[in-house]
Amino acid sequence: MNYSFLDPAVLGRLGAIPLESRQPMLGNVAGRHRSPNRGSSVEFAEYRKYVQGDDTRRLDWKAYARSDRYYIKEFEADTNLLAHMIVDTSGSMEFADKGISKIEFARQIASTLSYLAVHQGDAAGLSCISKKLDLEIPPRRRASHLQGIFKTLSEVTPKGDTGLIEGLHSIAEKVQRRGLIIILSDLFCDPDAFSDALQHLRYRKHDVVVFHLMDPQEIDFDFERPHRFVDFEDGSPIVAEPALIADEYRQIVQDFLIDIKRRCHDANADYRLVRTTESYESVLSTFLLDRLPKKGSR
């Protein structure tokens, strides 16, 4: 089945860049990501003193010759990544003016990152949140699992108020193993409550990414004549003269964006403001490259 939000050429180009976690992960199969546990991979981590019961094959005899003490070589244990795509499907995600709709951009990012994760041997899953946590597809590593994610993304329809905050708290409680949590939303929710949800995810030791999706018109507000604006979530209308409120509106939005970015930073979340007129390939390429380990950092 073909999906409009998947571009094979983009998948091919982005497939050359690995999807990395910023912190150690816990997995049940061998993978490419660092684990908080020590193991016996090829990457040296540190020495520690020998204690009775240690594997004598890991003794460093050169260190013994220098110090007359027994030391064990420890290495970074590699593990696999669980990537959880969290897609906001509340009514406001349907909005589109200058760019494609926010939900369509979310489809592009979620499907592409899921594909990249699975094809590098990691696991991908999907959760959709409107008024509540509506749907969950647990992370799996099988390529066939991707069809379920793609089909769900193609069928989801934004509607109703946002339940993003409650959904994130629920996910933080349900997902026991630390993973990569990727949030795709316009974040039209209470900033204090969103901050609490991020801190909950941080407490669970997840690596959190926030793709803040906004149509440029929501930021720039350059309407030229009176408009009847309708709330996509509760349907309430308001008629306004843009020229009279534009400056105040833009200042409120800028304050909101600065506040959200700060709260993400405080929770050690990777914040990405994305305008829906941008190329999703460019957005993801920058994201993937930024997360590559710097030389000497691993």
Confidence tier at 45 by pLDDT (50, 70, 90): very low
pLDDT of residue 40: 46
- Cβ proximity of 129 and 84 under 8 Å: no
The verdict on 139 and 227 lying in the same domain is: yes
The answer as to whether 297 is a domain residue is: no
Q: Pick the closest to residue 153 from 127, 178, 176, 116 (CA basis).
A: 127
Residue 101 within a domain: yes
- Residue at 150 is within a domain: yes
Residues 109 and 43 in one domain: no
Digit-coded pLDDT (tens) for 263-278: 999 999 999 999 999 9
| 157 within domain boundaries | yes
User: What span, in angstroms and rounded, lies between the C-alpha atoms of 237 and 2?
Assistant: 37
Q: What's the confidence (pLDDT) of residue 38?
A: 46
Which among 274, 271, 255, 222 is positioned nearest to 102, based on CA atoms?
Answer: 274
Please report whether residue 296 resides in a domain.
no
Asked if residues 88 and 34 have their Cβ atoms less than 8 Å apart, the reply is no
Confidence of residue 46 (pLDDT cuts 50, 70, 90): low
Region 30-43: mean pLDDT is 47
Based on the fold, state whether residues 60 and 91 are members of the same structural domain: no
Instruction: With a cut of 50, say whether residue 229 has pLDDT above it.
Output: yes
The percentage of residues in the chain with a pLDDT greater than 90, rounded to a whole number, is: 61
The predicted-structure confidence for 233-257, as pLDDT tens digits, reads as follows: 777 888 888 888 889 999 999 999 9
Residue holding tokens 């339940």? 163
Among residues 139, 144, 149, which one has the least CA distance to residue 3? 149
Q: State the residue for tokens 């020229």.
A: 243
In this prediction, residue 280 carries a pLDDT of 97
* Domain hosting residue 114, numbered range: 8-21+81-290
17 within domain boundaries = yes
- pLDDT higher than threshold 80 for residue 221: yes
Query: Which residue did the predictor score with more confidence, 147 or 229?
Result: 147
Report which of 83, 81, 79, 82 is spatially closest to residue 35, judged by C-alpha positions: 79
* Residue 109: band (very low, low, confident or very high) from pLDDT cuts 50, 70, 90: very high
Where does residue 16 rank: exposed (0-12), middle (13-18), buried (19+ CB within 10 A)?
A: exposed
pTM: 0.80
Domains of the chain: total: 2
pLDDT of 284 strictly over 70: yes
Please tell me whether residues 142 and 278 are part of one structural domain: yes
> Is 146 domain-assigned?
yes
Is 162:188 a contact under the CB 8 Å cutoff?
Answer: yes
Q: Which pLDDT score, from 0 to 100, does residue 54 have? A: 63
Q: Is the pLDDT of residue 220 over 50?
A: yes
pLDDT tens digits, one per residue of 188-216: 999 999 999 999 999 999 999 999 999 99
pLDDT value of residue 228: 82
262-267 long-range contacts (CB < 8 A, ≥24 apart) are 263/191, 263/194, 263/195, 263/198, 264/198, 264/208, 264/210, 266/195, 267/195, 267/198, 267/199, 267/201, 267/202, 267/208
> Hey, CA dihedral for 66, 69, 72, 74, is it positive or negative?
negative
Instruction: Please say if the pLDDT value at position 7 is more than 60.
Output: yes
Least confident of 78-87, 136-145, 200-209, 247-256: 78-87
Is 2 inside a domain boundary? Answer: no
Report which residue type is found at 281: E
Distance, in Å, from the CA atom of 8 to the CA atom of 189, rounded to the nearest integer, reads: 34
